[in-house]
Amino acid sequence: MSRRSLDVPDLKKWQRWLANLENGEVEKAKDRILRTAAFRISEYLDDLTPRRTGDLVNSMKIGGKDNVFKLVVGQTSYVFVGTAVSYAQFVNDGFTQEAGRFVPGEWRSGTFHYIPGHNEGMVLTGKVIPGAHMFNKAMDYVAEDMPQIVEFEFRRLYRQLF
């Protein structure tokens, strides 16, 4: 499971101020910040995920406990973003083929189709398949967005409290 965290400048100062408030609006603001960050990650993943059949990009969702990726904001707040598709981490991180391994299947229209138990197939050469690093890139983009997300929600909270 990939795990990254975001560091928002002056967040600790705001957290101390908010901790002194006894108001359910603080929890709502925290939830909105996390939810907005998750939606932004989801949007970026939609743009950055490679498409072959579309299955991987269409399986991306927010909140699934079996998701491959976990977005952590602060020390206690997190949301699962991504997909439960088993090969997603290989697409993200890349991998090295096992040289000499036989993979059953057949070629159709220039694309290899894996068919378990098929008597024909191909032998892998052991080349390195680079990763798309879509999750890391999405996290970097959201890290740039976080100050605006946090400021927007704090301004909303301030208007509600005062």
Task: Convert the pLDDT of each residue in 116-126 to its tens digit.
Answer: 999 999 999 99
Give me the pLDDT at residue 31, please: 85
Q: What pTM value is reported for the model?
A: 0.73
Torsion angle, alpha carbons of 73, 74, 77, 78, to 10: 30
Question: How far is the C-alpha of 111 from the C-alpha of 107, rounded, in Å?
Answer: 5
pLDDT score, position 14: 72
Please count the CA atoms within 13 angstroms of the CA of 88 that sit on its side-chain side: 26
Helices (H) and strands (E) in the chain, counts: 5, 9
Tokens of residue 97, six digits: 């083929």
**Can you list the residues of the chain whose pLDDT is less than 70?**
1-2, 6, 18, 21-23, 68, 70, 72-74, 162
